[in-house]
Amino acid sequence: MPVKKTYYPSKTFDDDFGAFVQMCITNKWQFPGISLKSLQSAVKAQRAERSSHDALELLYFQEHENFGVAQAQRHALFGAALHAARGLFRNDIATLAQLSRFTRTSGNRRKKPSAGRIPPPQPAPSPPPTTP
């Protein structure tokens, strides 16, 4: 059985929930099996957990940014060292063969059509309609 994905309501849920509970209190609405006290405590818990969550999320984004900057610096250092090694050993085929594994991957780029492959013919454009 697949794991059920956690549902996260919209960002305005806190305000909507609080406004609804306040409306219930103002209009003195009662619901069977749901007390107004439990709704009020749920709103308090939601707001406390939301502020804690937001603080942790901000901390994560800051750490993520710091990691990205540091990683970019390490990548630049790696590139400089690799470039220096390739220049230093440019006449050493065995060493260049070892360094060949450190090449960039093409990633998600589309392949360019090869010279031997002929692209499919394009349909001819239709003439514009004439009005009598």
Q: Say what the pLDDT of residue 114 is.
A: 61
Mind listing the pLDDT tens digit of every residue in the chain (132 residues)?
678 888 888 889 999 999 999 999 999 999 999 999 999 999 999 999 999 999 999 999 999 999 999 999 999 999 999 999 999 999 999 999 999 999 877 666 666 666 666 666 777 777 777 776
Contact by Cβ (8 Å): 102, 79: no
Q: Do residues 86 and 96 make contact, with C-beta atoms less than 8 angstroms apart?
A: yes
The residues, ordered by sequence, that sit 6+ positions from 29 with a Cβ below 8 Å of its Cβ are 23
Give the integer Cα–Cα distance in Å for 74 and 81. Answer: 10
Q: Encoding tokens for residue 57?
A: 């999320």
Task: Determine the Cα–Cα distance for residues 86 and 97; give it in Å rounded to an integer.
Answer: 10
